[in-house]
Amino acid sequence: MNLLDYRPGTTVIHRCPLWVKYVVLLMLSAVLVFWRHPVVVAAALAVVLGLYLAALLPRDFLAPWRRGWPLLLFAGVARFVSGVWGPTAAAPLDALGPALVVVAAVFGALAAARLLVITTPGTELLDGLETFFEVLRPLGVHPGPAALAVNVMIRSIPWVGGAVRRNAEALASRGLRRGPVRLMGPVLVATVGHARATGEALAARGLPGP
């Protein structure tokens, strides 16, 4: 499962400066994360869809849902459970709406981030991150390793989604109920193993350097 394949193109989205893409992504993500009103989330999703259409990539809009639905489902279930049994407990029907809004918001943020990546070459992304972290050098941030860390993190997101899907299928094949605890335990173990393997592979190549 790879959500991060670069799709070459000549649209205005592809040719847009990287800093503009980052600003739009940050604005959309901030709206989706901090302003979870149904109308606002729907409007943000419409904007993201419009950007996909402008990039001539409408079929890719639903890719985060098709390939990462276990992660989105987990986010929705977690919000629903906290709404029913949390400090401000509500009736199940009343908690369902906010849970769906959370799922839509997470999906919108993932779709927006994915559009940035699939319309920007990987080398340009890494160079842009290094330029951004260069501003933070006086604070002790090393631009190269920091940019590499963010790049690895972004590319690990679809792997984690795939791990959730694989474990859900494994539980279903054994006739076991796919509860959050039973599902996420093996996913956390696999994610730690993936992180260790990634670190060892980078170290073998002399990265991220001194």
Is pTM beyond 0.85? Reply is no
Q: Which two tokens stand for residue 187?
A: 């996913």
d(CA 77, CA 181): 12
Query: Angle, nearest 10°, between helix axes 63-85 and 180-204?
Result: 130
Who wins on pLDDT, 3 or 203? 203
CB atoms < 10 A from the CB of 99, how many? 20
Q: Each residue of 27-49: pLDDT tens digit?
A: 999 999 888 889 999 999 999 99
Q: Each residue of 154-203: pLDDT tens digit?
A: 777 767 777 877 887 887 888 877 666 677 778 888 888 888 888 787 77
All structural domains of the chain with their residue ranges: 1-120, 122-210
Q: Which two tokens stand for residue 19?
A: 């800093």
